Amino acid sequence: MHIGLIGYGRMGQAVERVATARGHHIVGVIRRETPIAMREAVAQQADALIDFSRADAVPDNVALALATKKPLIIGTTGWDAHRLAIERQVRAADGSVLHALNFSIAVQAFLKHAVNLATQLLQLEGWDVAIEEIHHRGKADAPSGTARALAMRLHHALDASHEPVYPVPTERRLDENQFAIGVLRVGSEFGTHRLLLDGPFDWIEITHRAKSRDGFAYGAVRAAEWLVGRTGFFTFQEVLNDILTHREEQR
C-alpha cells in the first residue's frame, strides 16, 4: 500500500517506521508549509492518508481527502467540536474517513474492561472513581483524548449519573455525582492512563502505560489497511474486531 503522511512529528515518524516494516511505501509527507499543489500530488499518489498533524488542520485535511477521493485516517485529537460537521461532509461526499482518540489496540481493551469493572462497582455502596492521565510536557490538549473517551464511556455506562470534571474545583468540593480527571504534563512520557476505584474495603487501580509511540502507529496503519476500499465515517472500534480475531490480513 502507498501511504501519504500528514504531519511528520514524532507520531508521523513512528507511522513511517511501522508502515515500512509492514511492507508499505511512504509516497510523501504533507507539512504545514507544503503548497496546495504538492499536497494534492502526494494525495494522488497515495492509497490512503494518515493524519497526525494539528487539530486546526483537520478540516482542510478532510477536504483534501474528499477532493482526491482518498481514505483518511485521523489520529489527531482536539477537533471534537467539528466532528458532527465533518461526519456530515464525509457522508455527503461518499468519502472514507476513520478516526480515533487513541489508536493503541491495548488502550481500546483497557477502556472496555476498565469501564465494565467501574460500572459494576459503582453500583455498590461507598465506591468512588477518578481518572488520571500523564503525558509529555509538549502535548497540546488536556485532558488527553483517551482520558476523555474513558470519562464519557463511564458517564454513559452509568446512565449519566456520574459527571466527569476537569479541572477539579479549587474553591469547593466535588459534588456527590461528580468524578475528577487529573492531568500531569512532565518530560517525555509517552502516555499513562489510570482508572482509580476506591471502596469501603478495597482500592483498585487499572493502568495502561505506553512503552513507545509505535503502538499508536501500528493501530493507525492497521486502520488504513482496513479502510482502503470502504466508504463511510468510521471509528477505530469498528476495526478492532477484525484485528483481534485475525480476520483482516495485511494488504
Is residue 64 included in any domain, yes or no? yes
Degrees to nearest 5, angle at CA 66 with 226 and 240:
20
- For β-strands 128-135 and 178-185, DSSP reports them as parallel
| Structural domains of the chain, count | 2
Catalytic residue at 69?
no
Question: Same domain for 143 and 95?
Answer: no
Give yes or no: residues 149 and 97 share one domain.
no
Within a domain: 117? yes
How many C-beta atoms lie closer than 10 Å to residue 141's C-beta? 14
Distance CA 205, CA 135 (A): 18
How many Å apart are CA 104 and CA 218, to the nearest integer? 7
Q: Are residues 10 and 99 in the same domain?
A: yes
Which of 4-8, 164-168, 219-223, 238-242 has the least mean pLDDT?
A: 238-242
Q: Among the options 24, 70, 99, 135, which is catalytic?
A: 135
User: How many Cβ atoms sit within 10 Å of the Cβ of residue 234?
Assistant: 20
What is the per-residue pLDDT for 140? Answer: 83
pLDDT at 251: 45
Q: Is 237 within the bounds of a domain? A: yes
> How much is the pLDDT for 237?
84
Pair (180, 141) in one structural domain: yes
Regarding whether 45 and 111 lie in a shared domain, the answer is no
In this structure, the answer to whether residues 94 and 7 fall within a common structural domain is: yes
Active site residue 139: yes
Cα(70)–Cα(97) distance, integer angstroms: 9
Claim to verify: residue 145 and residue 96 sit in the same structural domain = no
Could you tell me if 98 and 7 lie in one domain?
A: yes
* Count of all residues that appear for the chain in the document: 251
What is the span of the domain harbouring residue 199? Answer: 106-209
Residue 250 domain-assigned? no
- pLDDT-derived band at 246, boundaries 50, 70, 90: low
Same domain, 85 and 176: no
Which helix (DSSP H) or strand (DSSP E) does residue 219 occupy? helix 214-227
- 225 belongs to a structural domain: yes
Q: How many CA within 13 A on the CB side of residue 215?
A: 13
How sure is the predictor about 107, in pLDDT bands with cuts at 50, 70 and 90?
A: very high
Q: Are both 17 and 138 inside the same structural domain?
A: no
Between 245 and 67, whose confidence is greater? 67
User: 186 lies in a domain?
Assistant: yes
Tell me the pLDDT of the chain averaged across its residues.
Answer: 93
Kindly write down the DSSP assignment for every residue of 104-173, as one continuous string. -HHHHHHHHHHHHHHHHHTTSTT-EEEEEEEE-TT--SSS-HHHHHHHHHHHHHTTT-SEEESSPPSSSP
Q: What share of the chain has pLDDT > 90, as a percent?
A: 83
Q: Is the model's pLDDT at 250 over the cut of 50? A: no
- Give mean pLDDT, residues 218-228: 96
Instruction: Give yes or no: residues 44 and 58 share one domain.
Output: yes
| Residue-wise pLDDT tens digits, 17-57 | 999 999 999 999 999 999 999 999 999 999 999 999 999 99
What CATH number is given to the structural domain containing 226?
Answer: 3.40.50.720
Residue 248, pLDDT > 60, answer no
Residue 177 CB coordination number (10 Å): 11
**CATH number of the domain bearing residue 200:** 3.30.360.10
- For cell 502507529, the residue is 217
State the distance between the two ends of the chain, measured CA to CA, in whole angstroms.
Answer: 7
- State pLDDT tens for residues 62-103: 999 999 999 999 999 888 889 999 999 999 999 999 999 889
CB 220 within 8 A of CB 103: yes
Query: Burial of 217 by CB count in 10 Å (0-12 exposed, 13-18 middle, 19+ buried)?
Result: buried
Query: Cell for 204?
Result: 483498585
pLDDT digits (tens, 9 = 90+) for 190-212: 999 999 999 999 999 999 999 99
Q: 124-136, pLDDT tens digit by residue? A: 999 999 999 999 9
| Position 251 in a domain | no
Do both 119 and 184 map to the same domain?
yes
Residue 60 lies in a domain: yes
Helix (H) or strand (E) holding 198: strand 192-198
